[in-house]
Each structure stands twice: as structure tokens, then as C-alpha cells.
């Protein structure tokens, strides 16, 4: 009897040991993940800062004993090249793909390739068309609401344009600081990111739409397509200034880099700060925040790239490792959007301090 009991005890302990080793092996496997990333343009200032924050999340996970491998590609604004990069990442057995689309209207080839391999795809920053996101249940999006950024930019402008910050019974009094020629309307120029790009369209539409809701009389002198790029914006601004010169009272830019390009142009033309129009951006990049602090950029709208990078990494890790965090509706959220914030000279120090603190971590 004792011998039989010893045998049973031995078998029980052996089974426990087997289960323990199996669990340890499973845990070890779960701690190894491979993430593939393709960027529309790695030289974009906002995307560059975004990826630095993403790298910080990767480093933190690695410090906890996880083996996180990241393969990163620059599509250099070519959708064809990005498609090739996605194919290569799939061939290299990435567990999850993070794609910053070049052309938001052309994700189908990427989706088809990932679907065949059953590899989830997280699109980020540049939102694809809603119908495309519903093509497959393993597609996700991390970003922000472009409409909100336009509304907030419009509100920032309206506060500065209106005398005392508000209109009264539909009749408005414009600030002489902005309406320099005192003609009762604001002459402005728009700097747009890309032709047909959703964020550019929404930011422009809702910024100007917000001003119209405030009954602010507007006259658009012109616009420049500068592809989110500082150097292109500088060149466009030089051309526009030669045509309109001091008639320009307001410049609305879809992002900080183009707004900074406008500032560069005014520096090159040697127009004093007092004689420049008010210039507004969106994104709240480090260079943009410093320009607000220095009074060169009137205001910007903070796009929480660090928060988005954290959300992107967490989602990628969950999908790659099989860990599933329950969301409000009982599963991983298909769409994650973080809110924008207004930034003026009065509060930009808070955002700069936070940026500096995070960069040191």
C-alpha cells in the first residue's frame, strides 16, 4: 500500500512539474514578440517624435524581461514602396504590423496580404477610410480626431481675432491687432498638408467653419499645399508674400512644421514681428511649442503623439502576445482616439516641461 501511495505521489509530482515547465515555456514564448512598422515619412517631425516615444515604450517592456524585436521601414511617401515593405515584414514573420499609411485611400493590398497570413494590422496617425477598416476583424486604428483639431484651432483664432474675445448679437468687433487695415474683415491664407488628405481637409474645414460660426468676416487671399513640410511652406510663403505682402492678416496652417516654414519665410524677408500676421499651427511638436513660447507662433493645438505611441505599443503588444485587455464593450478596441489640447503662450511651458520630462525617462 505504501509502495502504491509513493508511486501515485511520484506521478502527481511529475505531472505538476510537467505543467509548471509547460507554463514557463508558454510564458517564455509569449515574451518574444516581433513588431513591424512602416512609416509614411520618417523625416516628418511629428512622426519622428512619435517614434521616439514608441521606442521608450519598447525599452520599458524590454527592461521587464520581454524580448521585443522591432523592424522599422521608411516608405518615403511611396505607397508602392510601403506595400513592398509590408510584404517583407510578413515574410519575416512579424507578429503584428503597425502601418502609417502613405495613401489613406489605398490600404487594400496591405489588408489582403495581412489577411492571407492572418497577421493583425494597426493603422496609426493617418486614418484610413472607415469602410476599409471594416474589411477584416483584425484591423485597428490609433490616432486622433482631425475634426477636433480644426475646431480648437478655430477657437484659438476667434479668441484673438474678436475684440474682448467674443461677438455680440451677431455683430462683431475685430481686434485692431489682427484687422490691421481696418476694413472689417480678416484677410487670410491657408497652408494645407496634402491634396485630398482627410486630416488636411478636416483641419481646414473646421478651423474656418468655427470662425464663420463666430460671424467673423473672412476673405481668403490664397492657399499653399506644402505636404506638411517646413521647407516647402517657406518656399510657398515667399511666393505668396510677393503677391499679397502686408494684406495678409492671418495664416492658418494644418501643422506646426508648415507654420514654422512660414515664420522662416518672414525671417528671410526680414519683416519685423510686429508687422507679421498671426500664425497658427497644429501638432504641438517640440519645435512648435518653443515657437509659441518665443512668441513667433501665436498658438498651436497639441496632438498627443506620446499618448498615441503608448496606446499603439500596448495594442501591438496585446495582439502580438495573445494578451487581451477587456475594453468597454468586452474586447480590444478597434479604434483608439486621443484628444487634442489648446496651447498658447500662457500654458505652453506645461507641455514643454512634460516633453522634457518624458525625453529623460
Residue 356 in any domain: the answer is no
41 and 132 fall within a common domain:
yes
Q: What is the residue range of 47's domain?
A: 32-143+305-338
Ordered alpha helix ranges (H), 67-197: 79-91, 108-117, 130-133, 146-161
pLDDT higher than threshold 90 for residue 356: no
Residue 324 in any domain: the answer is yes
**Final residue belonging to a domain, choices 275, 302, 329:** 302
273 and 161 fall within a common domain:
yes
294 and 331 fall within a common domain:
no
Residue 131 in any domain: the answer is yes
178 and 65 fall within a common domain:
no
Residue 47 in any domain: the answer is yes
What pLDDT, on the 0 to 100 scale, is given for residue 197? 86
What pLDDT, on the 0 to 100 scale, is given for residue 328? 42
202 and 290 fall within a common domain:
yes
pLDDT digits (tens, 9 = 90+) for 212-263: 999 999 999 999 999 999 999 999 999 999 999 999 999 999 999 999 999 9
Averaged pLDDT, 9-13: 59
What pLDDT, on the 0 to 100 scale, is given for residue 24? 45
Residue 165 in any domain: the answer is yes
Per-residue b or e along 192-201, where b marks 16 or more CB atoms closer than 10 Å to that residue's CB:
bbbeebbbbb
CATH of the domain at 292: 3.40.50.2300
**Final residue belonging to a domain, choices 274, 302, 330:** 302
Q: Are the C-beta atoms of 260 and 288 separated by less than 8 Å?
A: yes
Q: Are the C-beta atoms of 251 and 222 separated by less than 8 Å?
A: no
Averaged pLDDT, 97-105: 95
54 and 75 fall within a common domain:
yes
Residue 343: exposed, middle, or buried by beta-carbon count in 10 A (0-12, 13-18, 19+)? buried
What pLDDT, on the 0 to 100 scale, is given for residue 168? 47
Residue 5 in any domain: the answer is no
Which helix (H) or strand (E) covers residue 251, if one does? strand 250-253
pLDDT digits (tens, 9 = 90+) for 35-94: 999 999 999 999 999 999 999 999 999 999 999 999 999 999 999 999 999 999 999 999
pLDDT digits (tens, 9 = 90+) for 262-271: 999 999 999 9
139 and 207 fall within a common domain:
no
Cα 204–Cα 79–Cα 321 angle in degrees, nearest 5: 95
> Global pTM?
0.85
What pLDDT, on the 0 to 100 scale, is given for residue 331? 66
Averaged pLDDT, 165-170: 52
- Higher pLDDT, residue 11 or 160: 160
171 and 37 fall within a common domain:
no
Cell numbers at 305, concatenated: 503623439
pLDDT band at 28 (very low <50, low <70, confident <90, very high): very low
pLDDT digits (tens, 9 = 90+) for 142-160: 999 999 999 999 999 999 9
150 and 134 fall within a common domain:
no
pLDDT higher than threshold 90 for residue 13: no
Minimum mean pLDDT range among 103-117, 160-174, 196-210, 211-225: 160-174
Rounded to 5 degrees, φ, ψ at 211 are: -65, -40
Cell numbers at 25, concatenated: 515555456
Number of domains in the chain: 2
**Percent of residues, the chain, with pLDDT higher than 70:** 86
181 and 286 fall within a common domain:
yes
Residue 201 in any domain: the answer is yes
188 and 298 fall within a common domain:
yes
What pLDDT, on the 0 to 100 scale, is given for residue 130? 84
- Higher pLDDT, residue 163 or 211: 211
pLDDT band at 198 (very low <50, low <70, confident <90, very high): confident
Averaged pLDDT, 179-188: 95
Q: What is the mean pLDDT of the chain?
A: 89
**Final residue belonging to a domain, choices 257, 275, 302:** 302
Per-residue b or e along 32-42, where b marks 16 or more CB atoms closer than 10 Å to that residue's CB:
ebbbbbbbbbb
Q: What does the DSSP 8-state code read for residue 336?
A: E
What pLDDT, on the 0 to 100 scale, is given for residue 5? 60
84 and 166 fall within a common domain:
no
Q: Are the C-beta atoms of 124 and 99 separated by less than 8 Å?
A: yes
pLDDT digits (tens, 9 = 90+) for 290-337: 999 999 999 999 999 999 999 999 999 999 987 644 444 446 889 999
Residue 12 in any domain: the answer is no
What pLDDT, on the 0 to 100 scale, is given for residue 169? 53
Amino acid at each position: 500500500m505504501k509502495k502504491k501511495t509513493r508511486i501515485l505521489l511520484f506521478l502527481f509530482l511529475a505531472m505538476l512539474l510537467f505543467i509548471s515547465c509547460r507554463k514557463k515555456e508558454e510564458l517564455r514564448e509569449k515574451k518574444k514578440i516581433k513588431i513591424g512598422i512602416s512609416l509614411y515619412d520618417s523625416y516628418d517631425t511629428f512622426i519622428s517624435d512619435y517614434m521616439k516615444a514608441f521606442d521608450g515604450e519598447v525599452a520599458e517592456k524590454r527592461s521587464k524581461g520581454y524580448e521585443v524585436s522591432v523592424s522599422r521601414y521608411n516608405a518615403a511617401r511611396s505607397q508602392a514602396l510601403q506595400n513592398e515593405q509590408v510584404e517583407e515584414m510578413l515574410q519575416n514573420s512579424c507578429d503584428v504590423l503597425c502601418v502609417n499609411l502613405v495613401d489613406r485611400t489605398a490600404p487594400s493590398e496591405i489588408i489582403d496580404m495581412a489577411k492571407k497570413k492572418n497577421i493583425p494590422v494597426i493603422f496609426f496617425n493617418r486614418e484610413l477610410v472607415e469602410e476599409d477598416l471594416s474589411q477584416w476583424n483584425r484591423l485597428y486604428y490609433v490616432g486622433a480626431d482631425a475634426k477636433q483639431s480644426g475646431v480648437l484651432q478655430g477657437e484659438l483664432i476667434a479668441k484673438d481675432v474678436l475684440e474682448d474675445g467674443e461677438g455680440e448679437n451677431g455683430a462683431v468687433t475685430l481686434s485692431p491687432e489682427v484687422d490691421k487695415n481696418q476694413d472689417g474683415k480678416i484677410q487670410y491664407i491657408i497652408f494645407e498638408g496634402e491634396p485630398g488628405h482627410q486630416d488636411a481637409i478636416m483641419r481646414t474645414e473646421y478651423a474656418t467653419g468655427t470662425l464663420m460660426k463666430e460671424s467673423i468676416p473672412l476673405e481668403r487671399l490664397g492657399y499653399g499645399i506644402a505636404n506638411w513640410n517646413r521647407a516647402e511652406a517657406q518656399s510657398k510663403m515667399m511666393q505668396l508674400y510677393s503677391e499679397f505682402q502686408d494684406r495678409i492678416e492671418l495664416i492658418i496652417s494644418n501643422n506646426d512644421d508648415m507654420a514654422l516654414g512660414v515664420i522662416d519665410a518672414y525671417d528671410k524677408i526680414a519683416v519685423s514681428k510686429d508687422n507679421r500676421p498671426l500664425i497658427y499651427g497644429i501638432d504641438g511638436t517640440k519645435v512648435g511649442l518653443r515657437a509659441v513660447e518665443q512668441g513667433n507662433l501665436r498658438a498651436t493645438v497639441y496632438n498627443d503623439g506620446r499618448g498615441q505611441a503608448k496606446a499603439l505599443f500596448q495594442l501591438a503588444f496585446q495582439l502580438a502576445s495573445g494578451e487581451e485587455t477587456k475594453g468597454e464593450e468586452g474586447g480590444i478596441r478597434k479604434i483608439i482616439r486621443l484628444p487634442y489640447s489648446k496651447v498658447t503662450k500662457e500654458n505652453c511651458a506645461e507641455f514643454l516641461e512634460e516633453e522634457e520630462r518624458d525625453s529623460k525617462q
